[in-house]
Structure 1
């Protein structure tokens, strides 16, 4: 199974969106089970788990934050089941975008491609803003503009000269991110039972004082509900993962064995990393922590304003010397890695779109080293959004980008669930038993209904505060709903231009123009070659 098109593949295969993914191009070999899972974990663990989730704590309280992540985690599990069944059946490059175009409508694939590119592109300046916040932990003497320019230059250099080493670096950085996250969980447990310089056994103190819930924008039960809703919105930004597994589907060494394991473990990643971090953040600091509120409100000046991570704030409160500096530095390496990886993904996405005819042709031009230089330049230009923090607080600029990214992610997930409905109907009408699939999604098709309903609800509820406070703001309305309009314009516009036809449920070509047969042949050859070979400890663990 090659990532490059075979002679029998359709012309559309020549430039599939993630044909050049981080792992495939940098490693120049197929990915094993441990590598696929670590890429997925590394892609999911980012700034939000260390810093951004704390922004929702003052709105919902510790219990509200915890409940919200469980609720949205359930919806993301449903989304994962849709991804898993389709991608393991046909592990092709950029599968969820390709499936939307082939099984629903070409215009849907076009709109999903642009939406996915913008999702990646908006996340790069988000990481730049986060980096500035973390640097101000030590000093605020460095101009914001200087930090942004320096980061843009470094990203440009790294994406031009070190592409071949990118996948290897991200593989080991993913291991590092997991260790850092587990270390913070361990810090929470040890300190809450009294293992700190203050000998303070604070336990779940902050769930009682100041309280487990916050009344947000209203009083009573309505206010508490809105507090939880605001935390669910934060969770819809923070929790991700199925798309990262899908991005490397075509590069997996044994996709129909490796990918099901990766998707099955997603629910445990939700519980461990996302729900676990939501619980820990509500334990280590109260929702009315003055340092956190000052940072979020942009009222704090001087060194120390970078202590935006609830973990770092807790370490300072407990007078644990040295550790806050170490953790802050480690989080910065994760932020830098995340931004570099996202820029790489955005660049290759745009390059692939150009080769498909979904973006201007000049974006497909590459240097002698294979770097799509014009696509890189366009992707880098999105970093200029980070300059928003020059005239406003970093926390406010970060909120702008969170709104844009959240909308993009929700559209991606909802579109994938819709695509699954067409896939499910085609299986039923073409007499293909789901019991024969490499991965059989649980409780389908009801799971897909939950995925579509949950994502649609959050898309519409994203601007709830605009309608409840009475303080209408055009800018915030655009941030909350602008990407929906862009998606619809892209979908309808491309449909008019290309005159694409809607694929009625049950009529989709599940062989994808003969690609399924090629994958079946690859699988048979691979299994024959692997007979009798011994597996390492890590391979057995991840299998």
Structure 2
């Protein structure tokens, strides 16, 4: 009777065998096939996305509905069916085993413990499309774009500043599109670092992971110190430890909440930064055409006063050509510190809903950030403030805190605008706090990804109920204690130390990104016939990645060149400019020679496994198929 009923149902997913055999849950592989179990009112689906080839090897299983079928539907219906005897009913409910066996109970407990462990080591995909888009535009923009930009303009002039930032945007765009291609294809936690392990050798992956984690961590105290210097714009009669501790506690409270709250907070903070940037652009246009208390139509007068300046770091005049070159290099070095690429967006990949649809759009926003935010700001500061302005010169030489050295604020004071500088200073606090919050998030997710790959202790994979890697957050946030160095040193000195370290580490990370991409591309081309198409296709590869890597390599050695001048040589500056090179080389060689004993080899592109992670992503997209449909409608 049972066999007859099963054969009559053409779409059945359950094949009932003898009482002692395990049930066989099979899924047909036809495209867009909807299959039913023996109760046609309860169904689960198996669909293949249209962009996958028929023989791609990727099959999607709606495991939740399978479990519901086995545990709920069968239990509630089969026991009441007269055509199925108690033996078969009992067999199905117990998943093909006898419920009275102690051995099966032990297996069930073991499965439950494994499930709990898996849930405790997984982050949650809660970030929405609007969160990612705004974070992509302004998530890691801090005070450097609004305040520190005045220093290179003072050294090189408004013309060199604009040219240098525009030039550096080109290799950053090349690195970003390379990152976008591989991250959009495999959007997992710490994606480009985990792809380093898949596609390159273990030693390079180890070095790249620790370098990027250090880069993210050291930027946390940088932004904390920046907030403190901004507050000093108003008053100095307080201990610097107060804002440092308060800000660190706020970062901790935000980080331990569900990632959806982080995304919502960053959405609004990013909105404020976008409003600040656009507001300063509008201020520039209105004042340059005469909309100021002095009714001065100054136009491009300030820009033309000193567009190109000679700069001699050691005070020795070596001729006009050398002076102009050094003025340009001062602006280019500042650009290499200020302009970030798409690596920060990639760290969101493991917690984004529908990542293969959202991330390609987010990476395209980087172009907007590069052109509008950075190049636009360089043009505006050159318009509103002259590179030879006496107030700017005094602010740079005296290391004035906060907005005091911002070209925008200096312009407002020169024009007799008294309230707007305070408003800008408040907005700068928001920008610095938001950037520090973003670095806290990125550093903790980097450490989490390292632990998943075995490059950090496994305890850092543990997540709380909200899917937050709590131990990784706490350890990463400990780097905020570096900001307490300000208690014994001038804040400008501490910021300068951190800037030098960050610049070198960031440039090394750019080189690693391009190397990882080249190996990823090689593996993808070899396996292209069995893999889905790329959600994001970059241009002119592999030459684009090679160009970006070459520019980053050149800047690694240029960014601290002034330390080799006879009058400027000192060990401290040399270490802060180049120490990360030796640390990263030490990590690479130590892991390869001591840990792997020289047996670490680059991966064979034919054997690299992309499918395991792709299946998990496909399952997530299937679970959110309705949201995917809405995404297409909204697009």
TM-score of the aligned structures, taking structure 2 as reference length: 0.74
Alpha-carbon distance change, 432 to 297 in structure 1, aligned in 2, over 3 angstroms: farther
> Deviations for 1:105-138, whole angstroms, at most 9, x for unmatched residues?
1222222221111111111111122112211211
Of 392-401 and 66-75, deviating more is: 392-401
Q: CA RMSD in A?
A: 3.1
Which residue number corresponds to residue 439 of structure 2? 342
Residue 84 of structure 1 corresponds to: 180
* Offset at residue 337 of structure 1 (A): 2.4
Answer yes or no: is 1:69 the counterpart of 2:169. Answer: no
> 1:437 offset after TM fit, Å?
2.4
Cα distance in structure 2, aligned partners of 1:203 and 1:388: 43
Are the counterparts in 1 of residues 228 and 243 from structure 2 also a CA contact under 8 Å? yes
Q: 1:279 to 1:432 in 2, by over 3 A?
A: farther
Is the contact between residue 341 and residue 366 of structure 2 (CA under 8 Å) also seen in structure 1?
Answer: yes
- Given that residues 347 and 442 in structure 2 are in contact (C-alpha distance below 8 angstroms), is that contact kept between their aligned partners in structure 1? no
Residue from 171, 189, 192 that aligns with 1:93: 189
Equivalent residues of 2:136, 2:363 under 8 A apart: no
Q: Could you tell me whether the CA contact under 8 Å between 1:90 and 1:516 is conserved in 2?
A: yes
C-alpha separation in 2, matches of 1:235 and 1:481: 18
Counterpart contact for 1:152–1:380, Cα < 8 Å: yes
Q: 1:441 to 1:534 in 2, by over 3 A?
A: closer
Is the deviation greater in 250-259 or in 64-73?
Answer: 250-259
* Alignment match, 1:285: 385
Aligned to 1:269: 369
**Contiguous gaps of at least 5 residues in structure 2:** 1-59, 62-113
Whether 1:497 and 2:591 are equivalent positions in the alignment is no
Q: Which moved more, 1:100-109 or 1:354-363?
A: 354-363
SS at match of 1:92: coil
CA shift digits 1:449-472 (9 cap, x unpaired): 111101100111121111235421
Distance 2:289 2:471 in 1: 54
Query: Any idea what the Cα deviations from partners look like across 1:25-78, whole Å, max 9, x if unmatched?
Result: xxx53522x332212223232221122222211121111111111111000011
How has the CA–CA distance of structure 1 residues 294 and 142 changed in structure 2, closer, same or farther, with 3 Å as cutoff?
farther
C-alpha separation in 1, matches of 2:452 and 2:525: 34
Any conservation in 2 of the 1:89–1:256 contact (CA below 8 Å)? yes
Relative distance call for 1:343 and 1:320 in structure 2 (3 A) is same
CA distance in 2: counterparts of 1:267 and 1:230, whole angstroms: 24
Look up the match of 1:398.
495
Alignment partner, residue 437 of structure 1: 534
Offset from partner CA, 1:473-519 (integer Å, 9 cap, x none): 11111111111111111222222314562225x62645435223443
Partner of 2:289: 193
Q: CA deviation at 1:219?
A: 3.2
1:507 aligns with 2:627: no
Q: Measure, in 1, the Cα distance between the counterparts of 2:161 and 2:418.
A: 28
Pick one of 437, 462, 471 that aligns with 2:568. 471
Q: Tell me, yes or no, if the aligned pair for 1:134 and 1:306 is still in contact at 8 Å.
A: yes
Determine the C-alpha separation between the residues in 2 that align with 1:326 and 1:223: 37
Greater RCO, 1 or 2 (C-alpha within 8 Å, sep 6+): 1
Distance verdict in 2 for CA 1:509–1:315, change over 3 Å = farther
**2:395 alignment counterpart:** 295
Work out whether 1:389 is the aligned partner of 2:486.
yes
Report the counterpart of residue 116 of structure 1 in structure 2.
Answer: 212
Alpha-carbon distance in structure 1 between the residues aligned to 2:234 and 2:548: 43
How far did 1:346 drift? Answer: 2.2
Structure-1 residue corresponding to 2:22: none
Where does residue 46 of structure 1 map in the other structure?
142
* CA displacement at 1:357 relative to structure 2: 3.5
SS at match of 1:307: helix
| 2:266 aligned to which of 146, 170, 178 | 170
2:238 aligns to what? Answer: 142
3-state SS of paired residue (2:291): coil
What do residues 323-369 of structure 1 show as CA deviations (whole Å, max 9, x unaligned)?
Answer: 11111111112212222332233234334434543234555566787
- Give the 5 Å matches for 1:309-388: 309-354=406-451, 356-360=453-457, 374-388=471-485
- 1:512 and 1:147 map into 2 onto residues whose CA distance is 46
1:413-466 deviations in Å (ceiling 9; x for gaps): 110101111122233444559994222211111111111101100111121111
Q: Distance in 2 between matches of 1:534 and 1:234?
A: 39
1:199 aligned counterpart, secondary structure: coil
**What is the rounded CA distance, in whole Å, between the counterparts of 2:231 and 2:221 in structure 1?**
15
Q: Specify every segment of 5 or more residues in structure 1 that has no aligned partner in the other structure, as ranges.
A: 3-10
**Cα gap change, 1:455 to 1:91, in 2 (>3 Å):** same
1:229 aligned onto 2:329: yes
Q: How does 1:215-226 map to 2 (within 5 A)?
A: 215-217=311-313, 218-226=318-326
Q: Which residue of 2 aligns with 1:516?
A: 614
Equivalent pairs counted in the alignment come to 514
Conservation of the 8 A alpha-carbon contact between 1:295 and 1:305: no
The answer to whether structure 1 residue 258 and structure 2 residue 355 are counterparts is no
Q: Against the structure 1 CA distance between its residues 219 and 347, is the aligned structure 2 distance closer, same or farther, given a 3 Å change threshold?
A: same
In 2, the alpha carbon distance for the partners of 1:530 and 1:377 equals 35
The answer to whether 1:410 aligns with 2:507 is: yes
Residue of structure 2 aligned with 1:104, choices 200, 218, 221: 200
Query: Is contact 2:144-2:338 (8 Å) kept?
Result: yes
- C-alpha contact (below 8 Å) 2:185/2:534 kept by paired residues: yes
Distance 2:276 2:625 in 1: 36
- In structure 2, what is the Cα distance between the partners aligned to 1:355 and 1:514? 15
Q: Which has the higher helix share?
A: 1
Aligned to 1:487: 584
Q: Who is 1:243 aligned against?
A: 343
> For each residue in 1:391-433, what CA deviation from the matched residue of structure 2 results, as whole angstroms up to 9, or x when unmatched?
4432222111111111121111110101111122233444559
Describe the shift of the 1:419–1:380 C-alpha distance in structure 2 as closer, same or farther (beyond 3 A): closer
Once the two structures are TM-superposed, the CA of residue 186 in structure 1 deviates from its matched residue by 1.0
